[in-house]
Structures are given as C-alpha cells and as structure tokens.
Amino acid sequence: MNLRVLAYIVAACMGQTIGGVKAFAGSPEVISFTLKRELPHDSAAFTQGLEVWSPGYLLETTGQYGQSELRKVEIDSGRVVMRKPLDGKYFGEGAIRVGADILQLTWREGTVLRWSPNGKTKELEIRETLPWSGEGWGITRGKGVFWVSDGTDELKSVDPKTFKVKKIIKVTLSGKPMDRLNELEMVNGKIFANVWMTSTVVRINPATGVVDGLMDLSSLVPKNLNPDAVANGIAWDARKSRLYITGKLWPKVFELALEVPY
C-alpha cells in the first residue's frame, strides 16, 4: 500500500491494523476479500480499463501509443477473442458498454471514441468521436450517468448521451484530497477506484465523494515486474458477486469474493 495512503489512515483511524500500520478513530473500513481463482492474463497487456462484457467475457482496454487496443477476453482462459487496434495517435484508456456500442476514453487527445457494430459485418468500428476536456482515465456507470476520472481528486458525472459534464465531486480520504484516481468500477452503488502507482483500491460514496473503504491488493501484486506494472483493472460481476482484479502487464487476473459489507 502506498505510503501516502497509509499516512491518511494513520491520521484518521484507530483500533485496526491496515497493511501493518496501527490505525486511529474514524477510519474508512477495510474491505476484506477471499481469493477464489487465479486466471491467465496477457502479460503484454498494458491494462487501462476492465469490465464484464457478458457472462464469461471481459471488456479490456490497453494503453501506450501505437499499442492501444480494445479487446474481448474469455475470462477462464485469458484468450483474446477479439482485438481492435486504435490509431497510433490515441492512447487508449477506460471504456464502457452502452447497448451494442462501446465508449472509450483517450488519455490526452481530448476525444471519446464510440465503437459501433458495422451494419453488415457486425464488426466493431469507430463510428463517432466526442469531444472531452482534459485527460481521460477511468469510467464507470452510475444512476443515469457515467463517472469519469482524470488522475486528480475529481470525479466527473457525465451525461451518457452527450458526454457533457453535469457535476464534479471532490474525493476525500480523512478530509484530505484523494488524488491519482484511475480505473473505476461501480459496486452496489459505490465507486471502486484504483489509486495510480499503488496497490490500493478505494471505495467512494458518489453522493459525498468521501472514501469510506480501502482494499489492499499488495498480496496479489506479481513479483519482479517493472515499476509501471501497477494494479489497474476492476470488473464487477453482479450476477456472480465476484470482483475481477488485474494490473498493467500482469500475468494473471484474480477472481475475488468480497466480504460483506462491501
């Protein structure tokens, strides 16, 4: 767990030990989990976004200029059953399914890509681009809106049709700004977010922006990877009540059962 995150915990909690650190009163709760399965993952995938596509499949997006792709991945085998490369000018970020379409963020290009099935071949193609101000990192679905992160302490509530920003919330942990919010996933009304360059996932109340839960993934982080190979990728399968976790260049996807409450 990142030292800055631990410092917040030390300042705000009591009566618990998180990542080996004694906590003080008022801490966000620790989100515990049970590891159910370790699944194969393409270790060349610089994972930027992850969500459940359909039973048995994940939607995964990868980054890096000239290497970014949108993928459909079989969960059990890790096999990439569909891959769509992005133009080399785009650094791919998080994506979300909208009916038959997929909306994908780009990092610094000020563009949201709309993938739609070709009427004849049914193959996904980029059929439209939407303007976006600032960086795009992670995206997830809320009640009638999308939530988008940009690497800061802000989450933006976005109209699903126009992608216009409706509201911005500031995310705080123990009363202090919680920045570097990356990949997002909605889990039972709360937003789970990877904290970039850490093995920490925070749980955010979208009504207030307050971090009310912390999950430490350090036990899952593969050994001997380069410093950029951080945890990034959260997909919630509500049908099975399972969370899928991976990271950039990780050789595995981890299937987790979260302890109640989560």
| pLDDT at residue 33 in the model | 96
Cα dihedral value 200, 206, 211, 216, nearest 10: -20
| pLDDT at residue 120 in the model | 80
The DSSP output letter for 210 is B
**Could you tell me if residue 62 is inside a domain?**
yes
**Residue with token string 């009566």:** 15
**Could you tell me if residue 127 is inside a domain?**
yes
Is 173 in contact with 211 (CB distance < 8 Å)? yes
- Cα–Cα distance, 198 to 193 (Å, whole number): 11
**Could you tell me if residue 190 is inside a domain?**
yes
**Could you tell me if residue 17 is inside a domain?**
no
Report residue 85: phi and psi, to 5°. -70, 145
**Could you tell me if residue 44 is inside a domain?**
yes
**Could you tell me if residue 16 is inside a domain?**
no
Segments of the chain with pLDDT less than 70: 1-26
| pLDDT at residue 260 in the model | 75
Its domain, for residue 194, covers 32-258
204-214 residues labelled b (16+ CB within 10 A) or e (exposed): bebeebbbebb
**Could you tell me if residue 19 is inside a domain?**
no
| pLDDT at residue 208 in the model | 95
The total of structural domains in the chain comes to: 1
| pLDDT at residue 153 in the model | 96
| pLDDT at residue 79 in the model | 96
| pLDDT at residue 23 in the model | 34
User: Any idea what the CATH number is for the domain that residue 174 is in?
Assistant: 2.120.10.30
| pLDDT at residue 132 in the model | 94
**Could you tell me if residue 136 is inside a domain?**
yes
| pLDDT at residue 1 in the model | 54
